[in-house]
Chain A
Amino acid sequence: MKNEHRISRRGALKWMGTGLATVALYSPVPAAPDKGKALLKPIPSTGEKLPVIGLGTWRTFNVGDDRELMLARTEVVKAFFDEGGGMVDCSPMYGSARELMGFAFRRMDVPDTLFSAEKVWTRDGGKTREQVAESSELWGIERFDLMQVHNLVAWEAHLETLKEMKEAGEVRYIGITTSHGRRHGEMERIMERGGIDFVQLTYNITHRAVEERLLPLAREAGIAVIANRPYDGGSLIRGLKDGHPVPDWAVEAFDCKDWADFLLKFIVSHPAVTCAIPATTRVEHLRENMAAGRGELPDADLRRRMIRHVESI
């Protein structure tokens, strides 16, 4: 999202404080002028807008100290920001993915559009701050935009500390995560208690259980939603790409370019979803994924048709 007219978020934070920076972010801008306008959605608790396609890092960014692969993944990170990317989602559970983010950021200017989403993942409820500090050192950034409790591990203690940290301005947003449809009941109770800005959960065209309760609840409670496993870990898009063309009616209706466009637009067109975070090791896939964050979104009727179509394959 390189745009001269736009006030850099980090710069603004430095000079004007969070309030003004947020105002600056209210204005939607063309992300990559030649590629079309990036679709942005607001975080309900502040109105700050985020590009609807983010970047996951599970498996894909865990390359250890393999320099060749570290450089290759750095290209993915660069392409992500070149395409106007915002949210990068990581976790202490993802092996060396946090180190990779630091490695990549030492080879580029940390982009203004970065929305850093990390997690706390330790059974020791007293180690929240320690782990956040460790992560920010590994990423090489001063503070995270979003800190989530990974898979609800020791969530009560972690959330309490995270709330304090948010009040002290040490983190901007806080949230909780789950995946694969696990522990939805508990998630629901935490959402009902309030005090969180984000939830992260699995939502894709073949896994829609969250449409029943969690997504409506998120809307009602004003909680932003990050959809993980948008390709069901990869098997979904690989299966569809293997010999199945995208249907003509989707091309006509919203200029659907490919399966990435089809699957990601399905997710982010749900009114409760703020962004989806596909992970990839490949720049060409990254560009396909980012392209889904531009153009028209399907409406409710079309979304139903999309489901029927994928179910029929």
Chain B
Amino acid sequence: MMAEWRTYAVEDFIPFTPEVYFRMIERTNEAQWPLQFFALAGGATVVVLILSGRVRPALAVLSAAWFWSGGAFLIHRYADLNWAGVYFGWAYFAQGVILLGLAVAPWTPGGDRMARALDPRWLGLAVATGGVLLWPGITALAGGGWARAEVVGLLPDPTAVATLGILLMALKGWRLWAASVIPLLWCGVTALMLRVLEAPWAALPLASAVLVVAGMVWSAVARAPAAADD
């Protein structure tokens, strides 16, 4: 059995060519135009809401990003290419439910401002900004044009990366860990897929995930000024 496992490579699980995948991104963007602007504005709004301590509405808006990218991209389009797409889509819905649950459940989100001093939430802000604002630029420049820009809320990668940053800013304790599991897993899955597809930014989802996990550990150890109650 062990010997058999060694015969598997990541590419055995990627049943399409780079051309097909990136054209699918392009066609999704065409079909959803001009939603990109609303999605970008939505992403920026979430970051601003968190910065101003309004965690619940931020998480509610963020949950919509997961429902949309899971349904409109993973299930509606990507699943045509990869049978696993449906399961990925369901995982995105599950994350949407988790975020929505946190947005409405009876707990007391902390609303304190971010400390000026070093704080794991700054790391969260950096990753969130990267996911919302830089991701479209990076994917457009490295991927062959603005038609291939990946925007938070519409496509799964920037949604997962931005979410990780936002969660690190908004939550701590078990809620932070529980809400981060699916986005972290996705960052791993997509990093492997992008590597097979030879995308120049393949390492970025993983790098973002590593940064956020470091921030989560830091948050747990240092008991930094609370962003939210446990």
Contacts and interface: CB of A to CB of B under 8 A. Distances in A.
Interface in A47-68: 58-60, 62-66, 68
Interface in B67-109: 77, 80-83
B61 interface: no
A96 B15 CA distance: 10
Interface stretch (B17-25, B174-182, B212-220): B17-25
A93 B16 CA distance: 11
Nearest to A97: B15
Interface string B4-20: 10011001101111011
A181 B7 contact: yes
Contacts, number: 49
B82 A66 contact: no
Chain B interface main SS type: helix
A183 B4 contact: yes
Contacts of B17: 59-60, 62, 281
B80 A65 contact: yes
Contacts of A59: 14-17
A58, A63, A281: which has the most chain B beta carbons within 10 Å?
A: A63
A95 B81 contact: yes
Contacts of B4: 182-183
Given A94-B15, A95-B15, A183-B4, A66 B83 contact: no
A65 to B, nearest CB: 6
Given A95-B83, A181-B7, A182-B4, A66 B27 contact: yes
A69 interface: yes
B7 A58 contact: no
A279 to B, nearest CB: 10
B19 A69 contact: yes
Given A59-B17, A66-B20, A96 B81 contact: yes
B193 to A, nearest CB: 13
B84 to A, nearest CB: 10
Contacts of A68: 23
A202 B23 CA distance: 31
Interface string A160-188: 00000000000000000000111100000
A181 B17 CA distance: 23
A17 interface: no
A239 interface: no
Given A64-B77, A66-B24, A95-B83, A58 B11 contact: no
Contact of A95 (B7, B11, B80): B80
Contacts of B81: 62, 64, 95-96
Interface of B: 4, 7-8, 11-12, 14-17, 19-20, 23-24, 27, 77, 80-83
Leading 10 A-B pairs by shortest Cβ distance = A64-B80, A180-B7, A95-B81, A62-B16, A95-B15, A64-B81, A63-B20, A182-B4, A62-B15, A96-B80
